[in-house]
């Protein structure tokens, strides 16, 4: 199979992405977008020190994101609208059963990293076993990493074949394909990796593991969104997008949502097709929502640090 993609104008992409950092959002639209961003968050814990207690705490926050005192004060506002849960929690396969039990009865998705996250440097049969363990335990989404060594060596067929095999192993679970864009080097390579991931069956394409810097950036995300747009124009199929890592503030999240709307349109303004892989972001979204309702900021120490 031949693999090729349109060339990317790096200067043009950077200038276009920078445009979204200067956009102003009307006050009446801001609260709506803050709520939408909250619904799009994937809360994540992917540390060697993860425990059942830590995962349970994260799942409780996923269901009810705001600290009780903050929620109580906001709810006094005459126009208050109840806060939504987040889109998903993301854990290692060994913690999927814990998350499943904690989230039973909710609509929150259970994502699990697999395929030897974050390196991707194990044989394919081991990667597929990793996926099977997570899906059998109850994962509804799989976040896989591509083999960057194979990609950077020009072995695009191997990358394609591994994604396709992983998609098959997912069964009914959705597949997010992590490109680890900080290791790819150029926007041309980001575009090619995006096209390969989409053509091999990825339901989402995702920038980063969060373990490598730089992680998500506006220019990289713009290139990936354009790959999704081109695929949709050719096939009518909608592919999701997940920028992950480095998005820490509500202001940044609104910039990404502005870019999403202008590149792909309102159909993509949903957690079904766009996610933020940024646990730190959640607290700032809550602070800004509180500010919109009360006119003041809540103190930082009230928020959990996960």
Question: Using an 8 Å Cβ cutoff, are 48 and 284 in contact?
Answer: no
- Catalytic position from the list 195, 242, 284, 287: 242
Q: Which helix or strand (DSSP H or E) is residue 241 part of?
A: strand 240-242
* Structure token pair of residue 304: 């959990």
* Structure token pair of residue 285: 């979204």
Q: 175 — phi, psi (to 5°)?
A: -110, 120
Instruction: Look up 206 and say whether it is catalytic.
Output: yes
Handedness of CA 276, 279, 280, 283 (dihedral sign): positive
Instruction: Look up 101 and say whether it is catalytic.
Output: no
- Catalytic position from the list 176, 189, 206, 287: 206
- Catalytic position from the list 143, 195, 203, 284: 143
Instruction: Look up 242 and say whether it is catalytic.
Output: yes
What DSSP string runs through 7-52?
A: ---HHHHHHHHHHGGG----HHHHHHHHHHHHHTBEEE---TT--H
* Structure token pair of residue 50: 């993860």
For residue 185, with 0-12 CB atoms within 10 Å meaning exposed, 13-18 middle and 19 or more buried, which class applies?
exposed
Catalytic residues: 143, 206, 242
């Amino acid at each position: 199979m031949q693999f090729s993609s349109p060339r990317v104008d790096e200067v043009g992409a950077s200038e276009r992405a920078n445009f979204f950092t200067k956009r102003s959002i009307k006050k009446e639209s801001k609260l709506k977008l803050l709520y939408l961003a909250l619904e799009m968050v994937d809360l994540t814990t992917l540390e060697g020190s993860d425990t059942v207690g830590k995962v349970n705490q994260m799942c409780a926050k996923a269901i009810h994101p705001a600290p009780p005192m903050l929620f109580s004060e906001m709810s006094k506002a005459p126009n208050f609208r109840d806060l939504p849960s987040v889109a998903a929690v993301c854990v290692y396969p060994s913690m999927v059963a814990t998350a499943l039990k904690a989230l039973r009865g909710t609509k929150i998705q259970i994502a699990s990293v697999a395929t030897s996250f974050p390196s991707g440097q194990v044989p394919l049969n081991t990667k597929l076993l990793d996926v099977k363990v997570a899906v059998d335990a109850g994962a509804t989404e799989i976040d896989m990493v591509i083999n960057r060594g194979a990609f950077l060596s020009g072995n695009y067929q191997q990358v394609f074949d591994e994604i396709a095999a992983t998609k098959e192993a997912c069964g009914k679970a959705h597949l997010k394909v992590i490109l680890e864009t900080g290791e790819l080097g150029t926007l041309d390579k980001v575009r090619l990796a995006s096209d390969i991931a989409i053509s091999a069956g990825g339901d989402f394409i995702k920038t980063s593991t969060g373990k490598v810097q730089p992680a998500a950036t506006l220019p990289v995300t713009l290139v990936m969104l354009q790959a999704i747009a081109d695929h949709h124009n050719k096939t009518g199929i909608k592919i999701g997008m997940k920028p992950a890592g480095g998005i820490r503030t509500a202001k940044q999240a609104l910039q990404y949502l502005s870019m999403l709307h202008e590149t792909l349109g309102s159909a993509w303004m949903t957690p079904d097709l766009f996610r933020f892989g940024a646990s730190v972001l959640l607290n700032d979204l809550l602070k800004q929502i509180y500010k919109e309702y009360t006119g003041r900021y809540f103190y930082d120490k009230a928020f959990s640090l996960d």
